[in-house]
Chains A and B, each alone.
Chain A
Amino acid sequence: MSDLHVEPSLRAGMVYAALRSPSFMIGLVLTLIFIAAALISFFWTPYDVTQLNIADKLQQPSAAHWFGTDAFGRDIFSMIMVGARVSIAVALVAVGIGIVVGVPLGLLAAARHGSLIDEIIMRTNDLVFAFPALLMAIMITAVFGPSAINAITAIGIFNIPVFARLARGAALSLWQRDYVLAARVAGKGRARISAEHILPNLANLLIVQGTIQFSLGILAEAGLAFFGLGTQPPLPSWGRMLSEAQTLIYIASYVAIFPGLAIVFTVLGLNLMGDGLRDIFDPKLRRAR
């Protein structure tokens, strides 16, 4: 966290840096492809994914079915398009929960550094960290039953301490800056300083971490769905497509290959974009690494 600042007039320079950063551009393209697939699936897919067609089951990839069909004759390409919708929605909402709850907590803890409230927030964070997202999800689904909402809750809760810690750590170093002291000399309160001076200077860091948590969220959602704890039928999801493919792997390996590749490319795209953003926001880091 050598430098959190992006000087506003450097924004034009950042656009230029973004265009020249191969990892950012590849990441952006991959991410846009999947977002586009998810959006298009609301209006159009090559085949109806809720329609079973046993006669067409387990077709090899062909011109008619680009990625083949599954054991119920559904078009895998169409299922992946709809699956993108679920994956992106779950991960996005989970990251949103993490940011909306975690960042204010982190800012509060930093503003009241060393106080009881700081201690309570950080200890609670540690406790939540002791339950990996999957364990959390298992617990929640064991009680409430499997559903997409529960998957979102579980991943979202796990994201809270991630963002709280990040925000607190970065905010603590910003609180040491002289401009914060100057604001205090100008009579501004902790809440106002947090909003005016701390949060805006955390934004870049949060964007970078946000893309990383987004990709982790997609992996976690796939894991939960694979385990049967995520999205429920009839809506297809990448994780469940893989779990259904498990028994078919001996006869039709492509059933397992394509949904897996969809996950890999989405996550890869987001990670590359996150890495690229970090470099673009922090030219010092780009030189160092």
Chain B
Amino acid sequence: MLPFVIKRLVSLTLSLVAASLVIFFVIEVVPGDPASFMLGLNASPETVAALRDSLGLNASAPIRYWQWITGLLQGEFGISYTYKVPVRDLILDRIWISMPLAVYALILSTVIAFPVGVLAASRRNSPTDVSIMGVTQLGIAVPNFWFGMLLVLLFAVTLGWFSAGGFPGWEAGFFAGMKALTLPAVALALPQASILARVMRSSLLDTLGEDFVRTARAKGLTRRQALWRHALRNALIPVLTIIGLQFSFLLAGAIIIENVFFLPGLGRLVFQGITQRDLIVVKSVIFLLVFAVILVTFIVDITYAIADPRLRRARS
């Protein structure tokens, strides 16, 4: 097991280095001169020169990359050009909205998808299965931001159960915070839950057709016991991959949803960063999101090995 973890850690580090190079290249090298890009066409040469100086842009690209990376390792992301405060502080303010939102949505989608997928698989071709498949087909087709708007229309505008957006801050209490995140989390979670439920169902159906399930039935297990004790754990292995992938979709989706619900999270920050051409903010937040995605992939790989004894050996 340990060599396996070490191998995955090496690959995690390599991915992070590669990702940081890509981000640095696209944002700092491709535009030519980031300083004049950030200031726009009307800036005077003096202001551009001053900004270049303050951003340390006169150094060569490799040196700037090195400075960026060593800064990141120390938790220093640079100073935002528009907010004039350390980007680290901007991120720390907002991550406590984006993270809980993504995790909340992930839990919701898993909790919904799991039983629904198992139910559909165990009653294959029944009316229950057919309706579940129909609803999930619809769920996949719904864009989450539009679904968010419909939720606002129904629960905020018509029924008045929730506020249409905004975030009271965690100071207002855990439940007030969670309540404000509920509609956005549901908007994010339902389309993902539809995908997950379908994957769960088809993976379970595949496993139910395996020889070892027949062996279990020959031992005298009921259909139900064979499903829960033998098929399910084997069926979970592909489902784990999808859950890992979904986390990255949820993070990205959160960027849009935060704008629908006016949540002051990382998504708003990136959005503002783009409209104000604040490349320092954009660069750091994107790296942070990519880091989260790669980290989740790593965790999924490790979980994989725990779920499947064959991998502990084969891959290490």
B-binding residues in A (CB < 8 A)? 123, 126-127, 130-135, 138-143, 215, 219, 222-223, 226-227, 229, 239, 242, 245-246, 249-250, 253, 256, 260, 263-265, 267-268, 271-272, 275, 288-289
Contacts and interface: CB of A to CB of B under 8 A. Distances in A.
A128 to B, nearest CB: 9
Nearest to B31: A143
Interface string B256-300: 100110000000001101100101001000100110011001000
Interface of B: 14-15, 18-19, 22-23, 26-27, 30-31, 37, 124, 137-138, 140-143, 145-146, 149-150, 152-153, 157, 202, 205-206, 209, 248-249, 251-253, 255-256, 259-260, 270-271, 273-274, 277, 279, 282, 286, 289-290, 293-294, 297
B252 A142 contact: no
A110 B289 CA distance: 31
Contact of B18 (A127, A135, A140, A245): A127
B294 to A, nearest CB: 5
Contacts of A130: 15, 19, 248, 290, 293-294, 297
Q: Which 5 A-B pairs have the closest CB atoms?
A: A267-B141, A132-B252, A260-B146, A268-B141, A134-B252
B141 A126 contact: no
A227 B256 contact: yes
A87 to B, nearest CB: 11
Contacts of A264: 138, 141-143, 146
Contacts of B153: 249, 253, 256
B250 to A, nearest CB: 9
Contacts of B297: 130
Contact of B146 (A140, A141, A253, A256): A256
28 contacts: A123-B18, A127-B15, A130-B19, A130-B248, A130-B290, A131-B290, A132-B248, A132-B251, A132-B252, A135-B252, A138-B274, A142-B274, A142-B279, A143-B27, A143-B31, A222-B146, A223-B143, A223-B253, A226-B143, A227-B271, A229-B274, A250-B157, A253-B153, A264-B141, A264-B143, A271-B141, A288-B205, A289-B202
A164 B240 CA distance: 21
A249 B152 contact: yes
Nearest to A141: B274
B138 A268 contact: yes
Chain B binding site: helix, strand, loop or mixed by DSSP?
A: helix
Contacts of A138: 255, 270, 274, 282, 286
Nearest to A126: B15
Contacts of A245: 149
A260 B248 contact: no
Nearest to A23: B137
Contact of B256 (A140, A215, A223, A268): A223
Contacts of B273: 142
A268 B141 CA distance: 5
Given A126-B15, A142-B282, A226-B256, A135 B289 contact: yes
Contacts of A249: 149, 152-153, 157
A140 B18 CA distance: 17
A132 B249 CA distance: 7
B293 A132 contact: yes
Nearest to B165: A246
Given A138-B274, A142-B279, A289-B205, A222 B143 contact: yes
A267 B286 CA distance: 28
Contacts of B271: 227
Nearest to A134: B252
Given A130-B293, A131-B19, A134-B253, 19 more contacts: A123-B18, A126-B15, A127-B15, A130-B297, A132-B252, A138-B255, A142-B282, A143-B26, A226-B145, A227-B271, A229-B274, A245-B149, A249-B149, A250-B157, A260-B149, A263-B141, A263-B146, A288-B206, A289-B124
A229 B259 CA distance: 13
A123 B14 CA distance: 10
Max count, chain A CB within 10 A of own CB: residue among B26, B30, B31, B249: B26
B256 to A, nearest CB: 6
Contacts of B270: 138
A8 B301 CA distance: 41
A123 B249 CA distance: 20
A272 B15 contact: no
Contacts of B37: 143
Nearest to B32: A143
A256 B149 contact: yes
A159 to B, nearest CB: 15
Max count, chain A CB within 10 A of own CB: residue among B137, B138, B251: B137
A201 to B, nearest CB: 22
B282 A139 contact: yes
A249 B151 CA distance: 11
Contact of A140 (B26, B252, B277, B294): B26
Contacts of A250: 157
